[in-house]
Amino acid sequence: MSGPATSDITAESVATHPSQPSITPTTAPDASRREPTSTASGTAELAGQSVTTLLGHERQKLEVAKKLVIDSLRYEPDFPIPGIKFIDILPIFQNPVAFESLLDVLVLLIRERFGNEIPDVIVGLEARGFLFGPTLALRLNRPFVPVRKKGKMPGACRTVEYMKEYGKDEFQVQISAIKPGQTCLIVDDIIATGGTAAAAGKLVELCDAKLMGYLFMIEITNLKGKALLGDHPIITLVEHDEEE
């Protein structure tokens, strides 16, 4: 259950997130999603509990930065269709202080979750994973590798087919981008039904690399997308229930 088969991955409607959201900061670390620290201490255990406890000043920094990020989110009713309440993350990137806070939060969450094991590669998903993935990789002094729709990148690529609500799509990664044995953290803005993230996980495995886990800014909890991601650690910044 570490990733979807190339033909039976459920769709992820990352661009459309239906109605009445309530955003809740997730606070306590748990085995299926969360938190890191800016000090690289602790022993990494990919399938276990959070391995590092934030120091008092780091915890305070995390909570303050998290609130700034959450407060920067914007909701657009009836977009892109009636009945959908769209979560717009773009205001974060229009505010340098909020963007800096986002990066601070994500680094803290990664290091709290994985201790002193930093991923070898940050893998970002098209398209909004590209907004913060490269900068996060730079913060961690790691390379960034994009996963894109088929036909968007030159050269030889590995390809995975996955199912969307109205048909199939394909994700690709350049063959030379991820080396065998490297540990990879997949990042994207939102996990909804989990299909695109699971497809990216399959690509990592096809590269003979190790899928360290997933990181998302927002989890749409009622869509239960984590079920497609197997037992891999999942870090999320905030939770959102469309049914509330």
pLDDT digits (tens, 9 = 90+) for 75-105: 899 988 888 788 899 999 999 999 999 999 9
The model carries a pTM of: 0.77
Residue 63: its pLDDT value, please?
87
What pLDDT band is residue 165 in, cutting at 50, 70 and 90? low
Other Cβ atoms less than 10 A from the Cβ of 160: the count is: 26
User: Quick check: 234 pLDDT over 80?
Assistant: yes
pLDDT for 183: 98
The 10s digit of each residue's pLDDT in 30-80 is 333 333 333 333 323 333 344 567 788 888 888 888 888 889 999 899 988
- In angstroms, the CA 74 to CA 88 distance is 5
CATH level 3 topology of 23-240: Rossmann fold (3.40.50)
Given a cut of 60, whether residue 14 has pLDDT beyond it is no
Closest CA to 150 of 2, 15, 4, 6: 6
Tokens 């959908």 sit at which residue?
84
Q: Which pLDDT does position 58 carry in this prediction? A: 83
